A and B are shown apart, each in its own frame.
Chain A
Amino acid sequence: MALVRWSQQRDLPTFPSDVLSMQREINRMFDSFFRTGWIEDTGLAPAAWSPATDIVENDTGYVVKVELPGMSKDEVKITMQENQLSIRGEKKHEEEGKENGYHRIERSYGAFQRCFALPTAVDASKIDASFKDGILTVTLPRSEAAKPKTIEVKAR
């Protein structure tokens, strides 16, 4: 059985924006279970939302992309411990909305955290992260020890 991220919001839904995010969350659970065969390593931290993430493995290592529209680099914290990548942050309401009130809120706000256990070790000193048009890209080169090596078979 797959572990399911505990979410306060899911347990206490308020209509209607939370129902939308709940639906997204359930779609995501089904997607990741049936399509990727990869189960996210869930933290126990309560999260208000969960930004969509792609992980690609290429010759040099891993590329992680996270959709974080409207967030700046100071609002996101990336940590790497052993092979565990953690990306967390908090999206705050816009000043305009706070002052004047909303007619409609569909975008996600609040704290989020995503944790992934990468299949092989990465070189923590060479991790690079950049933000462009609301997409966070984290590049994690595989550590030397984890790179594939060809072993020559000697004839005797």
Chain B
Amino acid sequence: MTKNERSMTRREDAVRSFPAGRPEEILTPSADIVETPESFVLMLDMPGVTRESLTVSMEQNVLKVKGTVGELPHNGGEMLFREIRAAGYDRTFNIGEGVDRDRIDAAYEQGVLTVTLPKREEMKPREISIR
């Protein structure tokens, strides 16, 4: 076998041994947390998640976000390179007393889930006038 042939065989083996089809891992999505005067804003990277599977729920002090990645249309081809690992995302956050639970809002756009947690009136920064 020439050197070239050997390296080709090796590459073919590597391709074959490596799992085809969709990924299976449930990952913790990366999150940014920003505080504005009115609210806390959570931004979570959840690319490829379907809207139907996406849930944001609040139970007692725990905010839970969950979503499943839709089928990546690989058309039955062969994977040459594989780094995308998420089949879904799951994460919980402890939410403090300062958040108004009835007005929590969530939006999914460009693969990013944005959860806005408005502060209760008494938690908002206030300027105190000086007599």
Contact = CB atoms under 8 A, between A and B. Distances in A.
A127 B45 CA distance: 27
A65 B69 CA distance: 13
Given A94-B32, A104-B32, A108-B30, A134 B80 contact: no
B29 to A, nearest CB: 9
Interface in A100-151: 100-108, 116, 119, 131-135, 137
A68 B47 contact: yes
Interface of A: 28, 31-32, 35-38, 40, 52-59, 62-63, 65, 67-72, 94, 96-97, 99-108, 116, 119, 131-135, 137
Given A37-B11, A69-B112, A106 B48 contact: no
Contact of A97 (B34, B46, B81): B34
Contacts, number: 144
Contacts of A55: 79-82
B111 A106 contact: no
Interface residues of B, number: 42
B46 A102 contact: no
B131 interface: no
